[in-house]
Amino acid sequence: MSWVETLNRPRGSKRYRAVVRVHGRKVSKSFETKKRAEEWITKTQREVDLGIWAPESDTTFAEWVETYQERREESKRETTKQRDAGALRKWWLPHLGTLRLTAITAKDVRKVVGLMKREGLSPKTIRTYVGVLRAVLNAAIEEELLRKSPLRGVELPKDQRVKEIRFLTVDELERLASAIKPEYRATIDLAGRLGLRFGEIAGLRPCDVDFDAGVVSVVQNLTDVDGKLFLGPPKTEAGTRIIRVGPSTMARLAEHAERFPGEAFFVERPDGRPLIRRTFMRWAFRPAVERAGLEGLTFHHLRHTAVGFMIEDDAHPRAIQQRVGHSSSRVTMDVYGKYLSTADERLANRLDERFG
């Protein structure tokens, strides 16, 4: 069985993908014209019939990336697609694009990793970008275009920095809320009291805040990627959640809704446009941090603060995981384990006092 697929390209141009089923699996290759695609099908089928067919070994990295993106991108979140495409376009295609897949070596990969280091990319970013390459090469191995990955033996930089987890006190959190512009005060409450991520706050709609039931529903995330806004589900499946909110916090949110009613989103810019992280940090959050005397504070520290309040109240890791939308309680323990151990110690002491 064989067929030719038409691939629509930017600006109305077309490419044609020839597909042949060989030994129960699909083999394909893209061409500029339909005629060349049909000729390739005829040639491939003849080789199969004669028993001399073998996977093509002259496929270049650029050609395979094109095929890979056409096949594998559907299931990815839009922000992940943009990130992966950017990594391939900026780093891997310029240096590996013309090489045959079978000719790429660990030395070639190490060279690109070295360039990333010299450009000042963080170890985490480098590992992410190498992960994009790994996925592309593993897919080529699955298609029998490649016998083994050239990534074997490539050492990646380790992040030697100790990640700082900063918790604010209630007074510090209130000082920050008072220092930020009134129309953005709800972002401090949503992050510092409830533990929402910035994208979750930016994507929160008025209908997601139920004042009668006293709950906030987190169902979507607004993300800015290279100047383009993408609205989609939260970062993980567990990120979709319903958070019960206490009366005092709900009263603060109700006050915001009354003073600054948003049309599309619960918190909006004065001109009605959605919050964009980079501009919000520059014009609203960082000036407020400076006015509040909390130098070095990041927006993510507010999420840590919300967890810190839960730990102080001896909340179970499972309850923390569900409220902040971690993918598993293991993630919660990895990030906050040493702080949760002190909460467990306090709980043990209180239980022991019952028998004292």
- Whole-prediction pTM: 0.70
Question: How confident is the model at residue 12, as a pLDDT?
Answer: 66
Range ranked top by mean pLDDT from 80-84, 131-135, 152-156, 231-235: 131-135
CA 167/CA 302 separation, integer angstroms: 7
User: Would you place residue 83 in the very low, low, confident or very high pLDDT band (cuts 50, 70, 90)?
Assistant: confident
Cβ pair 9, 15 in contact under 8 A: yes
Q: What average pLDDT does the chain have?
A: 89
What pLDDT shows up at residue 170?
Answer: 96
Q: Looking at residues 244-248, what average pLDDT do you find?
A: 96
Percent of the chain with pLDDT over 70: 94
Least confident stretch, 165-179, 238-252, 325-339 = 325-339
Whether 289 and 192 have beta carbons less than 8 Å apart is answered as: no
pLDDT recorded at residue 344: 76
Q: pLDDT tens, 54-69? A: 666 678 999 999 988 8
Distance CA 107, CA 318 (A): 45
pLDDT > 80? residue 231: yes
Instruction: Report which of residues 57 and 81 the model is more confident about.
Output: 81
Range with lowest mean pLDDT among 14-18, 178-182, 241-245: 14-18
Mean pLDDT of 304-312: 93
Each residue of 182-228: pLDDT tens digit?
A: 999 999 999 999 999 999 999 999 999 999 999 999 999 999 877 78
Which tens digits make up the pLDDT trace of 252-297? 999 999 999 999 999 999 999 999 999 999 999 999 999 999 999 9
| Cβ atoms 171, 305 nearer than 8 A | no
Band of residue 162 on the pLDDT scale cut at 50, 70, 90? low
The pLDDT assigned to 47 comes to 80
pLDDT at 54: 63
Percentage above 90 pLDDT, the chain: 58
Q: What is the pLDDT of residue 216?
A: 98
3-state SS of the chain?
A: CEEEEEEECHHHCEEEEEEEEECCEEEEEEECCHHHHHHHHHHHHHHHHHCCCCCCCCCEHHHHHHHHHHHHCCCCCHHHHHHHHHHHHHHHHHHHCCCEHHHCCHHHHHHHHHHHHHCCCCHHHHHHHHHHHHHHHHHHHHCCCCCCCCCCCCCCCCCCCCCCCCCCCHHHHHHHHHHCCHHHHHHHHHHHCCCCCHHHHHCCCHHHEECCCCEEEECCEEEEECCEEEEECCCCHHHCEEEECCHHHHHHHHHHHHHCCCCCCCCCCCCCCCCCHHHHHHHHHHHHHHHCCCCCCCCHHHHHHHHHHHHHCCCCHHHHHHHHCCCCHHHHHHHHHHHHHHHHHHHHHHHHHHHC
**Secondary structure of 175-234 in the HEC alphabet?**
HHHHHCCHHHHHHHHHHHCCCCCHHHHHCCCHHHEECCCCEEEECCEEEEECCEEEEECC
Residue with tokens 């139920």, as numbered in its chain: 210
- What pLDDT sits at residue 160? 65
Q: Which residues contact 316 (CB under 8 A, 6 or more apart)?
A: none
Please report the pLDDT score of residue 356 as a whole number: 67
116-140 mean pLDDT: 93
pLDDT of residue 227: 78
Give the mean pLDDT of 3-15. Answer: 79
Pairing outcome for strands 209-210 and 215-218: antiparallel
What is the reported pLDDT for 236? 83
CA–CA separation, 258 and 14 (whole Å): 52
Please check the confidence at residue 110 and state whether its pLDDT lies above 80.
yes
Q: Per mean pLDDT, which range of 29-43, 45-59, 278-292 is the poorest?
A: 45-59
Number of residues assigned to the chain: 356
